Amino acid sequence: MIYVDTKNMVKYDTDKMELVSNKVKYTCKNIFGLTALRSGELYKSKKGNWLGVVQKDLEKEIGTVDEETVKKMLMKYDVDKYEEIFGELEEA
């Protein structure tokens, strides 16, 4: 799947990116304006850029994700992957 970030003028190709997690969730608004939590995927490019993909109704919604948001999402939904990428979290 191809996504072009027109703000930064770069192309993302999920076939060439690493699928980091398919356990993450995204908050989306439906056609009625109601908020829903949807399952999605998180990809990382070879240059370290992040891309989020979520199935929304009949189409996929795609967008870039900053690293701080990635950390929060992985801590919440896929802690094993977080620790693999960013290091182990301190025990309470």
CB 78 within 8 A of CB 86: no
CB 20 within 8 A of CB 81: yes
Residue with tokens 């939904």: 77
State yes or no: pLDDT of 90 exceeds 90: yes
Say what angle helices 79-86 and 67-77 make with each other, to 10 degrees: 140
pLDDT tens per residue across span 75-87: 999 999 999 999 9
Q: How far is CA 30 from CA 27, 40, 60, in A?
A: 10, 15, 13
Query: What integer pLDDT is reported at residue 34 of this predicted model?
Result: 83
